[in-house]
Amino acid sequence: MKLSRRVTETAPYLFHLIDEKRKAAQERGIDVISLAIGDPDMPTPDFVIDLMNEEMRDPRNHQYPSYKGESDFCELVAHWFKKRFGVNLDAQNEIMATIGSKDAVSHLPFVFIDPGDTALVTDPGYPAYEAAIGFAGGTPIRIPLLEERGFLPDLSSIPEDIADNAKFIFINYPNNPTAAVAEESFFEDLVAYAKKHDLVILADNAYSEVYFEPEDRPISIMQIPGAKDLSIEIHSFSKTFNMTGWRIGFVVSSKALIHSFLTLKSNFDSGVFMAIQRAAARALGHPNAPLFNEQRTQLFKKRRDIIAAALNDLGFRFGLPRASYYFWVRIPEMYSSSVVFCADLLEKQGLVVTPGVGYGPSGEAFFRISMTSPNEKIEKGMERLKNFMKGL
Ligand SMILES: Cc1ncc(COP(=O)(O)O)c(C=O)c1O
């Protein structure tokens, strides 16, 4: 079969591989608990389902959607953006609906990359960034995220010529997998840096609504003066309203950049089911949304406490997550490979966590635990981790 190098030379997606390992272990009779994947265990809230039921009954929603997103979707998103971040957006020109944020993450590189180009990615980082740059014919250049810098990139460590030649930089705060958050000053420095080196910033803000304390409430890069002309911010409904399966997100940027993305995307897909767009956008301003968000925060705080207590008892090194769903934890010192540690944990205790190296070489000394499982399952998982550590 004459497959493309794009397919034959790209490693299968990290979570696909983890899923295969989990299935294989189950087939060998191991009782498996997975704390690996960042997919909320809680259902989409009823108020969003009710909105969807209404929209489904409206025959206007059954036809092809517009490529850019319905104008009422964009208006409602603009309204939310103003309320949430204090940023004014031109709804019809500066917002575009996407099929989840992964659609944006995986297709935006095609707007900038020609074969042979380079782009900067943080390491560790969401695996789709590097894959998409590669698919577009480019080469990702990794910028390490180090614990001692709060998992923020050290921009001054990037050689000038590398920055000058790169087309864009992918950043993601709140961060998957490190759970780091970035302050306004980081975004200010980044915007100044991008201006100096003529870089576009692709800012993945998929976890903007998943945080624990009011002082850690994530900001938008669009709050920084001058950011809009050189950045595209990527948003998702997946984490905001437990809507991972619905596939809806949006990007915000300047009219020119949105137009460029539209040129590409209108040739790739035909938009998002209008009922989903309308239900999602109406959910943003729904009176039940703040309560839902608060309940989710309380639930995740409880889970965070269960995991943090267990990890502390066992002497693991980790930072308490300030946002996102994840714990980013150092593997025990006797291990030098996160894959070997995770494989042993699965084999001996039937516990699945994610090896840090799956997010890039700088993740080799870490593993990721996701909080998106019911409390009892998390408790059971921590019990298994304890048993595993006892047996070392
Ligand atoms: C950092 C980050 N960006 C984007 C996504 C994709 O999310 P979705 O396509 O569901 O919006 C994820 C999913 O886990 C993620 O962790």
Which residue is it, tokens 């084999």? 347
| Cα-to-centroid distance, 204 and ligand 1 (Å) | 8
| Cα-to-centroid distance, 14 and ligand 1 (Å) | 13
H-helix segments, 136-245: 160-165, 184-197
- In testing the pocket of ligand 1, which one of 16, 99, 105 has its CB within 8 Å of the most ligand atoms? 105
How high is the pLDDT of residue 12? 75
- In testing the pocket of ligand 1, which one of 14, 101, 173 has its CB within 8 Å of the most ligand atoms? 101
| The ligand 1 atom nearest the CA atom of 176 | 1
Do residues 101 and 204 touch, judged by C-beta distance below 8 A? yes
Q: What is the pTM of this model?
A: 0.96
How high is the pLDDT of residue 226? 97
How high is the pLDDT of residue 22? 86
How high is the pLDDT of residue 17? 77
Q: Do domains 5-43+290-390 and 46-284 have the same CATH topology?
A: no
| Cα-to-centroid distance, 234 and ligand 1 (Å) | 10
Among protein residues, the one whose CA lies closest to atom 14 of ligand 1: 38
Six token digits for residue 133: 């740059």
- 5-43+290-390 sits in which CATH class? alpha beta
Q: What distance, in Å, lies between the first and last C-alpha atoms of the chain?
A: 46
C-alpha torsion 132→133→136→139, nearest 10: -150
The DSSP code sequence of 339-364 is: HHHHHHHHHHH-EE-EEGGGG-GGGT
Closest CA to 321 of 249, 274, 270, 372: 372
H-helix segments, 136-269: 160-165, 184-197, 255-268
Residue 152 Cα to chain centre, angstroms = 16
| Cα-to-centroid distance, 235 and ligand 1 (Å) | 9
| The ligand 1 atom nearest the CA atom of 237 | 11
Q: Percent of the chain beyond pLDDT 90?
A: 92
Q: How far apart are CA 261 and CA 239, in angstroms?
A: 23
- In testing the pocket of ligand 1, which one of 103, 126, 205 has its CB within 8 Å of the most ligand atoms? 126
Do residues 238 and 206 touch, judged by C-beta distance below 8 A? yes
| CATH assignment of 46-284, among 3.40.640.10, 2.60.40.10, 3.40.50.1820, 1.10.10.10 | 3.40.640.10
Q: How far apart are CA 81 and CA 85, in angstroms?
A: 6
Question: For the chain, which residues make up each domain, given as ranges?
Answer: 5-43+290-390, 46-284
H-helix segments, the chain: 5-8, 14-27, 46-56, 71-85, 91-94, 100-107, 109-112, 128-135, 160-165, 184-197, 255-268, 274-284, 289-313, 338-349, 375-390
pLDDT per position in the chain (392 positions), as tens? 999 988 888 877 777 778 888 888 889 888 899 999 899 999 999 999 999 999 999 999 999 999 999 999 999 999 999 999 999 999 999 999 999 999 999 999 999 999 999 999 999 999 999 999 999 999 999 999 999 999 999 999 999 999 999 999 999 999 999 999 999 999 999 999 999 999 999 999 999 999 999 999 999 999 999 999 999 999 999 999 999 999 999 999 999 999 999 999 999 999 999 999 999 999 999 999 999 999 999 999 999 999 999 999 999 999 999 999 999 999 999 999 999 999 999 999 999 999 999 999 999 999 999 999 999 999 999 999 999 999 88
The overall average pLDDT reported for the chain is 96
Q: How far apart are CA 159 and CA 366, in angstroms?
A: 27
How high is the pLDDT of residue 191? 98
| Cα-to-centroid distance, 26 and ligand 1 (Å) | 27
Other beta carbons within 10 angstroms of residue 205's beta carbon come to: 24
Do residues 351 and 388 touch, judged by C-beta distance below 8 A? yes
Phi, psi of 242 (to 5 degrees): 50, 50
Residues near ligand 1 (Cβ within 6 A): 38, 100-102, 105, 126, 172, 176, 204, 206, 236, 238, 244, 249
How high is the pLDDT of residue 25? 86
